[in-house]
Amino acid sequence: LCYDSHMFTKQTHLESIYSTGAFLILRLNDEEETYQVAKAAIAGGMRALEVTYSVPGALNLVARLTKEHPDVLIGVGTVMDAPSAFAAYQAGARLIVSPHFNPELITVGNRYQCVVASGAFTPSEMVATAEAGADIVKLFPAEAVGPAYLKAVMAPLAHLPIAPTGAVNPGTVADWFGAGACAVGVGRYVSGAHRESGNYDDVSVATQTLLAAIAKARQS
């Protein structure tokens, strides 16, 4: 039997996140700025990103990015319910990210072979999220508790793929991965890297710096 990698769609998408250990959260107020940041981050090596629903023209942006970058996992964030998840899929998203636990949303993601990163905070929420079929348990809000909380949770729940979002930068990734993170969701460190200079090349540099720090953290 000859197996085509496309037969394993979800595994291929998950590899986009695990290959670098990161996904980028784009929560900006302008569609064109978000597009330019996304392009610069991809140029810097980012293989997975989410455009939050709060971005103007979010689904149009997703359609544009998926067409231009078929080798990158493009997703939608701040997905609140099943209809929003299906709309994201129809726009081309293959990554669905939510801030909370919604079983119907996870079901839709699994139905269409999308990677689902579903928000959870307490151990009970984390277990329920995994049992419902989420591929990644998104620790949110991570900045409120820090790596020490993740480390404590991972003691009994080491079998869960937990990814913190928030407070992620090159200075913190060693602590997050040391605590047991499977990946991290990065926001402002990369998405806002151009703000001071006005140069999107700074986004590419920030991406490279972050991914290098993650690679080093995962080796130790």
Q: Verify whether residue 50 is a known catalytic residue.
A: yes
Please tell me which residue in 15, 50, 125, 196 is annotated as part of the active site: 50
Cα separation of 187 and 167, whole Å? 8
**For this structure, is 15 an active site residue?**
no
- CA dihedral sign, ordered 191, 193, 194, 196: positive
Strand order through the sheet with 136-139: 162-164, 136-139, 115-120, 95-97, 73-77, 48-52, 22-26, 184-186
pTM of the predicted model, to two decimals?
Answer: 0.94
pLDDT tens, per residue, the chain with 220 residues: 555 545 578 999 999 999 999 999 999 999 999 999 999 999 999 999 999 999 999 999 999 999 999 999 999 999 999 999 999 999 999 999 999 999 999 999 999 999 999 999 999 999 999 999 999 999 999 999 999 999 999 999 999 999 999 889 999 999 999 999 999 999 999 999 999 999 999 999 999 999 999 999 999 8
Catalytic site residue from 138, 143, 151, 196: 138
